[in-house]
Amino acid sequence: METEILKDAGVPGTAEPASGQLEITAVLHALSDPVRLQIVAKLSDGSEHTCGSIELPVTKSTCTHHFRVLREAGVIHQRQEGTSRFNSLRRPDLEARFPGLLDTVLRAAGGS
Amino acid sequence: METEILKDAGVPGTAEPASGQLEITAVLHALSDPVRLQIVAKLSDGSEHTCGSIELPVTKSTCTHHFRVLREAGVIHQRQEGTSRFNSLRRPDLEARFPGLLDTVLRAAGGS
DNA sequence: GCAGATGTACGATGATTGTCGTACAATGAG
DNA sequence: CTCATTGTACGACAATCATCGTACATCTGC
């Protein structure tokens, strides 16, 4: 959690770790928050979502915070379009590095 | 993480959540620490280990802390025998509640 | 009983976290 | 241009966390 090497993505504030550098502890920590788990579940169908298009029990600032944690852990990708920032799951990268992890976590979270 | 209902286990200091009450967020958080992940990996072959029988880069007190976090999340079971406390993975309970989770996490952590 | 071993309890400490409010920047609609 | 929308930046704050040291409790062997 201390040494985070983020790959620049052109658009400021969207840097994310390269697929080969995802850390399991960072990913697990990112997924260990109920709000973030809710976000990931929403994105799990492959859809893109903005901060505002997901109903969450937190304010805008907190939402920004959670999306940043997910991005810096390498769980999601952020794409800027106008004033909107579209978030999507980095499913292929996660699957390549931690096979089956995302699905098992989502299944575990879904059947709560 | 706020409401933790721990089942008493007779021996003080070994209370753990019932199998049906494991929380995915608590489990993920417990697994999101490098030291704890190391502990779980060591226990993953089904063996029992005491605090002292695992070489860890932390002191005794910190070791106690990590084992407690794992126990309260429901990841491990603690059995007292004399002055020693034997720790083992609650693999069947975890498997029943979150199928495949432990194995995928361990595989992800192992191939680091 | 005494000494060693094993582990917990407690308190401290610095770091991180989740949350919020306010202010600001950027884009798009009128 | 002006205004509303979208989201970030920054600062604040209480809570949690990982870590440690010291002290204590419990058992075992002598």
CB within 8 A of A50, min separation 6: which ones?
A84, A85, A86, A87
Give the pLDDT band (50/70/90) at residue B68. very high
Query: Where are the strands (E) in A1-112, listed by range?
Result: 76-81, 84-89
Averaged pLDDT for residues B42-71: 97
Closest Cα of chain B to A84: distance in Å? 29
pLDDT tens track for B36-48: 999 999 999 999 9
Radius of gyration of chain A (CA): 13
Question: In the prediction, which pLDDT does A8 show?
Answer: 78
How many percent of chain A have pLDDT more than 90? 86
Q: What is the mean pLDDT of chain B?
A: 93
Positive or negative: CA dihedral B69, B74, B76, B78: positive
State the pLDDT at residue A2: 46
Q: Does A33 touch chain B (CB under 8 A)?
A: yes
**pTM (predicted TM-score):** 0.94
Mean pLDDT on B53-76: 97
Packed helices B60-73 and B24-31: angle between N→C axes, nearest 10 degrees: 150
d(CA B108, CA B111): 6
Residue with tokens 């929380």: B23
CA of B79 to C1' of D24 (A): 21
Please determine, for residue A111, whether its predicted confidence score (pLDDT) is greater than 90: no
pLDDT range class, residue B10, cuts 50, 70, 90 = confident
- Give residue-wise pLDDT tens across range A4-53: 678 877 788 899 999 999 999 999 999 999 999 999 999 999 999 999 99
Nucleotide nearest to A82 (CA to C1'): C27
Whole-number Å distance between alpha carbons of A107 and B98: 8
What CA–CA distance (Å, rounded) separates A47 from A70? 16
A-B CB pairs within 8 A amount to: 59
pLDDT in tens, A55-92: 999 999 999 999 999 999 999 999 999 999 999 999 99
Give chain D positions with protein CB within 7 A: 5-11, 16-23, 25-28
| CA R_g for chain B | 13
Using a CB-CB cut-off of 8 Å, the residues of chain A touching B105 are 24, 28, 101
Q: Are A65 and A18 in contact (CB under 8 A)?
A: no
Confidence of residue B16 (pLDDT cuts 50, 70, 90): very high
Instruction: Give how far the C-alpha of residue A75 lies from the chain's centroid of Cα atoms, to the nearest Å.
Output: 4
Looking at CA atoms only, how far is residue B17 from chain A in angstroms? 15
Residue A65 touches chain B, beta carbons under 8 Å: no
B81: which nucleotide lies closest, measuring CA to C1'?
D27
